[in-house]
Amino acid sequence: MSVYVLVTYASKYGATKEIAERIGEGLRQAALQVDVLPVERVLGVALYQAVITGSAVYIGKWMKSACQFLNDHKEEVAQRTIWLFSSGPTGEGDPVALLEGWRLPADPKPVIDRIQPRDIAIFHGSIDVARVNLIEKTAVKTLKKPFGDFRKWDAITSWAT
């Protein structure tokens, strides 16, 4: 019997998409059937036994599309095994520490409490200075966060397996 897993994500510039794709690769290597889709393209989760949902984090919040996905599908998702991940903090060190102990964004917390995820991971993110707009550049500088790619691919693969 095959196990079908949905890995879905919200990504503004593609860094979270790449994390979702890496998770999907790890699951496929474990002989699981995996679809990796942006949250906007998911019509339902009925075909899947497990769901992994991730979002980029901007100024301590998940992207609206990720929150909307969880709200729209909360009843179906609550009946499945679910894992969540966030990508966002840049810099060296423990990503939870970089977020001052934050493990969950406040915005989707009521639905997250309802769906009871098995685990919530926080991965280092990536900010490409050439791709962000002026407001985002200013915010990153004001918050004294470094630009660059800080994703730890081994940690992401390990979590997926």
Domains and CATH numbers, the chain: 4-160 (3.40.50.360)
| Residue partners of 69: CB distance under 8 A and separation at least 6 | 8, 10, 39, 42, 53
Residue 1: per-residue pLDDT: 65
SS3 string, 63-92, reads CHHHHHHHHHCHHHHHCCEEEEEEECCCCC
| Cα angle value 70/71/77 (rounded, 5°) | 50
| Residue partners of 54: CB distance under 8 A and separation at least 6 | 7, 8, 9, 10, 16, 19, 20, 23, 66, 84, 85, 86, 87
Taking only the tens of pLDDT, the chain with its 161 residues reads 688 999 999 998 899 999 999 999 999 999 999 999 999 999 999 999 999 999 998 777 889 999 999 999 999 999 999 999 999 878 788 888 777 777 777 777 888 888 999 999 999 888 777 777 777 777 766 667 778 788 999 999 999 98
SS3 string, 89-142, reads CCCCCCHHHHCCCCCCCCCCHHHHHHHCCCEEEEECCEECCCCCCHHHHHHHHH
> What value does the CA radius of gyration of the chain take, rounded to a whole number of Å?
15
* 10 within 8 A of 38, measured Cβ to Cβ: yes
Residue 140: per-residue pLDDT: 67
